[in-house]
Amino acid sequence: MDSEGAINNNNNNNKVPRWTPSPTRSPPQKSSDEDREAVALATFPFSDHQEPTLSTEMEAVVLARKEDHHHHHDYINNDYADPDDDDQLGAEEDGGVTVTWKDLCVTVGGGQLTILEGLTGYAEPGEVLAIMGPSGCGKSTLLDALAGRLSSTAQQRGDILINGRKERLAYGTSAYVTQDDTLMTTLTVKEAVYYSAQLQLPDSMSIAEKKKRAEMVIKEMGLQDSVNTRIGGWAVKGLSGGQKRRVSICIEVLRKPKLLFMDEPTSGLDSAASYHVMSRILKLARNDGITVVASVHQPSSEVFELFRNLCLLSSGRTVYFGPIASAEQFFTSNGFPCPTLRNPSDHYLRTINKDFDQEDIEQGRGGSVTTEEAINILVSSYKSSAIRQETEQHVNRLCQQKKGRSLGKKGGQANFFTQCTVLTRRSFVNMYRDLGYYWLRLAIYIALCLCVGTIFYDVGFSFGSIQARGAMLMFVAAFLTFMAIGGFPSFVEDMKIFGRERLNGHYGVGAFVVGNTLSSIPYLFLISLIPGAIAYYLVGLQKSIEHFTFFALLLFVTMMLVESLMMMVASIVPDFLMGIITGAGIQGVMMLNGGFFRLPNDLPNPFWRYPMYYIAFHKYANQGFYKNEFEGLTFPNPQQGANSSISGDEILKSVWQVETGYSKWVDIAILFGMVVVYRLMFFGIVKLVEKIKPILKKRVGSSKQTSPIVDI
């Protein structure tokens, strides 16, 4: 009996209670959504939860929605507005951006797995659309679809219109606060926001105005006490997760974009901070006519009351889309009333979350059903409801108007020179503070060069020193440059930050390439000069300043070339572990046929001699080092007799098979040219991906128009 009772009790816990006799809710009457929000603003955080006014008929609520909509735009809170701003554009000035989607479906796996199924909805200027649902219901996928950021493996069907036009969002036309905070961990809050302000805000604004905007946004997000705290990462403790989330929001609202997507902006925040952040976002949306689409996870009752429209998803299907004021009546009319003292958003999520169902349970005598059945009831009811019809009619009206201006293409608002300057300065600071970027490599290089210097110490000018000099120079050209892959994790982090900022239109690809190149030059020169000098003079190579200068300069250019190669690899292989393996493999192949392990004339044709020998940078690095060291020297040659000798030029030709028809400066010029080529290839790869990815997604999507949709 105890066992049976336990089972029954467990089954009861998996049931969702439907309509049962209970005390009726008696909420205070409100005149409009604005009154309800005003009460919450005035009394938070000590206010009691106050429920919205509910009409007895769903149709009446739907019809009243249009009238309330006009009042909604009339409310403007000027606490967030900057009276000195000349670039503020209200909703009434240019109409803002309206986003509509109809019969939106997203599938993966060749159309065999459905993520989103038949969604229809809209988002209008001056409002915040809340997307809610259990984990894995498709909230982030819907945001990605609306923002045009679906992965190439996903197939999209249906219409997404921007201002009544079917157009793809160009770079810089919208902002997206992603679920993961991709920030430069070595910067402080003030630096991160201010650098971003310099990149995003137009050159027509003075430096003082940009600083003022950055400080205002930091204050609005409640970060004024952490302005000098570094963001921090895995190596150094810095901001909390919630503070990082607010920094991400600060960066994206600086420019006041006309379209703002936010993926769980309140994650990691306590209820007070969540309310504070979302109320500021709401004010910003109303003041500047911004269209905000945000996925929210378990909002408090105060935060929930700030939203106007709600999109409730479960397993990729629409459970409800419409005014938040009507959501409770919708659930009540279908037999799932919200208990008197429960947060409505918690009740909705609890009703449609089927992650913890153990088994299907038949409806009991008490009128309980399984969560799966509850979801099906709500989905079916919504499809046939008047509010669904009103939503579709409103979407059709918005699509037919087409009176909004096209967003067009909009890059970073600062000019190219400003972008390059700011990115160079920011990257230089990041490299200086990140110990793993160059400082650790400098320490390792010094240790390695001390080992090289002591092993080949005072090598002299004997016949045996010929091989010793060649081996030492090959090690410097090959293995010291090989260590550049140690900075690959930092390269990948830079690429992640670049990817986020590029998608949001902060700056262009060219500015990033120039900034990264210029900022790395001092550090590469430092790690070439100090370890190179240690090895050079301990071994006892040619002691003239001219020879050492060429040695250090050639090592510097080779280091720069390898970093350019690693940046190109990082743009193709974003995972740092795979990138290290790929970069090591490429360098290993180049090292193998660089002319030391197998002499050039002995390399097999046609592949290894032509073209690989001439593609590998080790050929020119080795030849430059050998020419710099052996030209002008004479060594005894006991193989030809006691008093015979061999010149350095003969050694270059016969021992190392070096091409002596051109100067050593030509070798260094070729290497520098390869640096330029690799950087241009990196630029080309990034631009090519930008151009090809939308085309591939369009072709893949069109080829899957007839794919079956399988519910999940």
Dump the DSSP string for 532-580: HHHHHHHHT----HHHHHHHHHHHHHHHHHHHHHHHHHHHH--SHHHHH
Residue 363 pLDDT: 37
Q: What are phi and psi of 492, to 5 degrees?
A: -65, -40
Residue 211 pLDDT: 95
Report helix, strand or coil for 107.
strand
Helix, strand, coil share of the chain (percent; to 5):
55, 10, 35
Sign of CA dihedral 64, 69, 74, 76: positive
Residues in a beta bridge with 131 = 295, 311
168: left (phi over 0), alpha (psi -120 to 50) or beta: beta
Asked if residue 52 has a cis previous peptide bond (ω within 30° of 0), the answer is no
Report helix, strand or coil for 308.
coil
What 455-460 contacts at long range (C-beta under 8 Å, 24+ apart), as own/partner pairs, is 456/538, 456/539, 457/538, 457/539, 457/540, 458/538, 458/539, 458/540, 459/539, 459/540, 459/541, 460/540
Please state, in angstroms and rounded to a whole number, the distance separating the CA atoms of residues 313 and 218.
33
95: left (phi over 0), alpha (psi -120 to 50) or beta: left
Could you give the angle at which helices 33-43 and 58-74 cross, rounded to 10 degrees?
Answer: 60
Q: For 556, what's the count of Cα atoms within 13 Å in the CB-facing half-sphere?
A: 19
Asked if residue 611 has a cis previous peptide bond (ω within 30° of 0), the answer is yes
Residues in a beta bridge with 322 = 310
Using alpha carbons, list the distances in angstroms from residue 485 to 408, 432, 473. 40, 18, 20
| Contact indicator for 499, 408 with CB cutoff of 8 Å | no
Please state, in angstroms and rounded to a whole number, the distance separating the CA atoms of residues 710 and 654.
71
Residue 697 pLDDT: 56
Nearest to 433 by CA among 661, 216, 191: 191
Q: Nearest 5 degrees, angle CA 426-CA 429-CA 431? A: 110
Helix and strand numbers, DSSP H then E, in the chain: 26, 13
| Contact indicator for 327, 299 with CB cutoff of 8 Å | no
Q: What are phi and psi of 308, to 5 degrees?
A: -100, -50
Report, as ranges of residue numbers, the positions in the chain whose pLDDT lies below 70. 1-95, 170-172, 357-367, 402-412, 693-712
Asked if residue 522 has a cis previous peptide bond (ω within 30° of 0), the answer is no
What separation, in Å, do the N-terminal and C-terminal C-alpha atoms of the chain show? Answer: 37
| Contact indicator for 582, 569 with CB cutoff of 8 Å | yes
| Contact indicator for 102, 67 with CB cutoff of 8 Å | no
Residues in a beta bridge with 114 = 107
Nearest to 65 by CA among 330, 392, 390: 390
**Total length of the chain:** 712
pTM of the model: 0.81
Residue 705 pLDDT: 44
Element (H, E) at 130: strand 128-132
Residue 137 pLDDT: 92
Dig out the tokens for 613 from the structure: 């020998």
Dig out the tokens for 289 from the structure: 């006519």
In terms of Cβ atoms closer than 10 Å to its own Cβ (0-12, 13-18, 19+), residue 391 is buried
Could you write out the DSSP letters of every residue in 348-401? HHHHH--TT--S-----TT-EEEHHHHHHHHHHHHHTSHHHHHHHHHHHHHHHH
Residue 76 pLDDT: 34
Could you give the angle at which helices 509-539 and 664-703 cross, rounded to 10 degrees?
Answer: 140
| Contact indicator for 122, 391 with CB cutoff of 8 Å | yes
Nearest to 520 by CA among 445, 438, 443: 438
Using alpha carbons, list the distances in angstroms from residue 31 to 37, 44, 306, 331, 367. 11, 20, 16, 22, 35
Using alpha carbons, list the distances in angstroms from residue 438 to 193, 203, 399. 25, 33, 54
Dig out the tokens for 246 from the structure: 């607010």
Residue 572 pLDDT: 86
Token pair 């986020």 is found at 500
Using alpha carbons, list the distances in angstroms from residue 557 to 212, 553, 668. 42, 6, 7
